[in-house]
Structure 1
Amino acid sequence: MFTTKTTYLLLGVSLLLGSCSKETKDSLLPYPEDITFNELEMDRFSFRFIEGAQSGSDKAGFVSFSGKRLPSGDFEGFALSNKNYRSYPWSLSHTFGTPTLTGESRQAAIDSTLFSVFTNVPNRTENYLVGNAANDKAVINIKTPAEVEHVLVANTTYGYLQTFYGSTYSGTLDKVTQAYNPTGTKVRNPLNPNTSTTMYGVFYLPQIQGPDLIRLDGYVALQKDKAGNEAKQAALQAGKTAEEAQAAYDKASAERVLGQVKLIIEGYSGGNKVGEVTHLLAVRKGVDPNNPTHEYTQNNWVAVGLRSLGKVDQLRFKMDGDYRDTQGTLLTPQYFCLDGIRIKK
């Protein structure tokens, strides 16, 4: 188990885009008075569920949380973890494993990413929490009502890979479906330190339940094309020329702005909601009105300020986004990582 207890505040967050190949290390400074979950005993590279767990200190303050595994293989609430696996599971690879794995072997492969924080370089924050925001059970209770200065949040490896690449990852993209072809050319498993081409393959990560996913960029491309085609057909039916119909396509496609994964942190006091803060775990260009040039899938810890909530005794976590099925159900995995809770003294 870990024998040291140190937390870190990110000074410079590197939100690297997919086209970037250079890995840069962020500057980290120790903040020993943050709530870090490091005093909770854990084996190395493991995760576990604790009902009614408490973490903190007299100086940092105290918080509590709960979590449990569900029969489906999913979970509710929070899990305590220190895993940092950052690639697709080898055992599910089309090249090196068996994509049709079932039972405990399949679950173990998914868990290797589900309970890992995705960081561009090896994680240094030791213990942290993995939350599931899909069932209203991702709740942090604060023992003494206080103003929370910030929390550190990150993507899980499961969420990052599904958002950036999709369930299947190869070097061959089907432009009609926007899914990578499972029989396509071989690629490097993301962040695999062994760069030999003999380790290249086609990789797979299924959902715990539900259909395979395409990457967020693929969903955006399909939705923009759909909007454009609808406008084009309407123009043609109205007697417009082919050139005018194409102009209608281009305009509608450009105006269909989407592509985001949102973590929503709600503050409560005495059972009443007092406010919320939204943080983008992924965003595409033009979506964020305050930062229209931002385009990233978060690949490191980021400090999210919560002072605007005022004094609270509870934080509740939810997620939202654009990637939905035809019934409007959110398809984006609703998992996130949490660490470094700083309570104002």
Structure 2
Amino acid sequence: MRSLNLGCLALMLAPFAFGLVTFEAGLLRSFSLELYSTTYPSVMGTITTRGVETLQYTYEVEGRTFQGNNYQYSVRTSSDPAAWAGPEFRVGSPVRVFYRYGSPWESVLVKGVQGRTLLLLLGFTPVNLALFVGLFLAVRSMRKSRLGVRVFERNGRTHVRLTDKTPLLMGLAGAGAAALVLCIAVGAVMGLDAPVPAVVMAWGFAVAAGVVADRWWQARLDTGLHDLILDEQARTLSLPATHGRSTRRDVEWSAIKSVLLDKETRRSSKGSLSENFRCMLRINGAGRAELVREWQGDADRAANLVNWLQARLGLDESTLVAPRAPAPVAKKKKVRY
């Protein structure tokens, strides 16, 4: 069912993805040409034609005469007559022409990276990151290794990582959000043809925002705020401050009556139903069970956490609700003969 849903989603997004890839391929090609044009040698040429949508010039390289019509490398589909409306571009005026070494028939009048190209790349960064993260999460959801309980030891206690948000994902989210805000801000204040230094500075702030978000989330994870903590010496279990708990709740192992796998069906505002599978603790003297973690539509992960807690707390393993998650298979090294 999971593979079928992913396949249907991929078919629905295929036209959008194809159009996006096509546009961005042209955008990256323009960027690479603009960057490479900084190495172009130059000669003097002459303006031969200036129209509303055309600008032509001739120039000579090693005794051969060439004709060009590129004002600059650009991602725009139409020309910009305002760029060559000045008197320096009238017919017969001399003009400096930058040509590609080894391909002198390819030339421009304005070389270097343009602010418009960088700004458009910045604006499409959030879309690219969203697609990358979505693809990564879809592939990860199909791997059996996701079923395992993520456990590690720290300061003599056992930590179970309950959140799926990694520093990398948070960093990408921070960079994408900052890129969108900065692109809109620079475009609104300076226009689409913003100065290159301003756009480069915006790129720097977006990258810095991503790094800060990554480090901030890593610091939060290091504090254990999102971990289920088991202290075997004190025989206590500490629940994180989530799912309605304003602070952490420490529970004695002896007070835990059972670990349950619960299923809750919810109806969204649009009328669609979703199944949420929850790992819960039934505690002696408590009016309701404590929620440890829940997953939407993923019974296997919830069941494996229930099984792991039952075994770790020394409860009756005859009540295991699902087979244990398989251990990751080590990759075999290829032997070259």
TM-score by length of 1: 0.22
Higher share in strand: 1
Higher share in helix: 2
Query: Which of the pair has more CA radius of gyration?
Result: 2
